[in-house]
Amino acid sequence: MVSKSLQLVAEDLGFTYAEKANAKLSHMYGVYGDYLISLYDSGNQKSVFVNYYMPPSDEEDDSVRLLELSESFKSATEEYYVTDYHIDVDGLSCTVNCTDEDFVPLVDLLVEMAKENELIGVTQCSCCGNKIGKRLPKKLNKGKNNFLLCEHCALEKMEEASKAPETDGNALPKKTALGLAGALAGGLIGILLYFLLYYFVAPIFSDSAFEMSYVFSIFGFVTAFLVYRGFTLFSKQPCNSAYAIVASVSLVCVMLGQYLGTFVEFAKAQGFALGKAMSIPAMWLIHLRSTASDPAFNYAATFYKLLCFSLLFALIGTIIFLMGMKDKAKVRKETVELETLRI
């Protein structure tokens, strides 16, 4: 994505606007200071990617050189609010929170830093390091970043991209434990809502002919949403384990919430203080089984009816919220585009 203001600033520097069908992948690119550079907006921040070739050294390992380059980058960009950066053997990317006017000096600074660290720009392939000969170099676009390659490396990269298999969420590193914790937290909030409804709201409608308890069953849907939201907040990466976690936690928490709510409603209707009612074991069992001969006192039947309604709403909510997760959990092949670059 490229804002209009960044586009105008970049065009003044000779950059070209690469418009994509997916607007989020649109970016600016161009050869600036002898390096192929990509510019784009990242939300309210701005990102830059400088493509280069790091020549091998007999004296130092690549990991050591990358560490030194990282230290050099940190010291050079102290005055900028850098929120994220990544340095590799073929490029440096960083995201900053700054204005368009301050962004250009940062790009100049990165170009100067690359030259000081003897990182080679557009004169050599950023993959193999071969000098660009008579044949025009190729620009390989991956996402919003661009790489300058020789023809041989460009074709190899395209072939690798075409063979890369799609993977599903199970092949990705997941934070399942955190997702489970988030789902449980959401479920506990749902149980608390059941308690509050039956403790404060239900007594208001106790004299009404209409059973508000059946309306409260809708909170099965609300609880399913809270469980789903808790999982997604703590586990940013969608994964297939979410199906089992969200579904099971939602249903269990709805059962507990409905049971607690019905218990509270019964205790208040019978004039028991909540603390005293909770200390009587028989009070906890009256909703699970009924030995009363009079149907009017069959509290178990009422509880099971309400539980069925709550579970139905929870099941509907779980299905709706998880419908789109399968597509999100699948990682599709990264879009790779190749074109000849005239320098």
Give the tens place of pLDDT for each residue, 145-190. Answer: 999 999 889 989 888 887 755 544 443 445 688 889 999 999 999 9
Q: Which of 75-79, 105-109, 261-265, 278-282 has the lowest mean pLDDT?
A: 75-79
User: What are 135's two structure tokens?
Assistant: 């044949």
Tell me, yes or no, whether 126 and 203 share the same domain.
no
Query: Is residue 334 one of the residues assigned to a domain?
Result: no
The average pLDDT across 34-58 equals 91
The average pLDDT across 49-61 equals 88
CA distances from 168 to 64, 159, 174, 190, 240 (A): 34, 21, 12, 31, 8
* 3-state SS assignment for residue 40: strand
- Could you tell me the residue range of the domain that residue 314 belongs to? 170-329
Q: Which sign does the torsion angle of CA 88, 91, 95, 101 carry?
A: positive
User: Per-residue pLDDT for 276 more than 50?
Assistant: yes
Tell me, yes or no, whether 159 and 175 share the same domain.
no
In this predicted model, what pLDDT tens digit does every residue of 90-143 receive, in sequence order? 999 999 988 878 889 999 999 999 999 899 999 999 999 999 876 788 999 998
Give the pLDDT score at 72: 85
Query: Is residue 336 one of the residues assigned to a domain?
Result: no
Tell me, yes or no, whether 78 and 120 share the same domain.
yes
CB atoms within 10 A of CB 99: 11
Give the pLDDT score at 298: 63
Give the pLDDT score at 222: 96
Tell me, yes or no, whether 155 and 262 share the same domain.
no
The average pLDDT across 49-64 equals 88
Last residue of a domain, one of 128, 163, 198: 163
User: Per-residue pLDDT for 258 more than 90?
Assistant: yes
User: Per-residue pLDDT for 257 more than 90?
Assistant: yes
CB 132 within 8 A of CB 125: yes
Give the pLDDT score at 172: 43
| Average pLDDT score over the chain | 85
CB atoms within 10 A of CB 252: 15
Give the pLDDT score at 87: 92
Tell me, yes or no, whether 11 and 155 share the same domain.
yes
Give the pLDDT score at 99: 83
The average pLDDT across 289-298 equals 57
Give the pLDDT score at 290: 65
In this predicted model, what pLDDT tens digit does every residue of 14-37 receive, in sequence order? 999 998 888 888 999 999 999 999
**pTM of the entire structure?**
0.55
Phi then psi for residue 124, to 5 deg, are: -135, 155
The average pLDDT across 234-259 equals 87
Give the pLDDT score at 32: 94
Sheet holding 27-32, edge to edge: 16-18, 27-32, 35-42, 45-51, 91-96, 82-88
Query: Is residue 38 one of the residues assigned to a domain?
Result: yes
pLDDT bin (cut points 50, 70, 90) of residue 329 is low
CB 261 within 8 A of CB 299: no
Tell me, yes or no, whether 111 and 184 share the same domain.
no
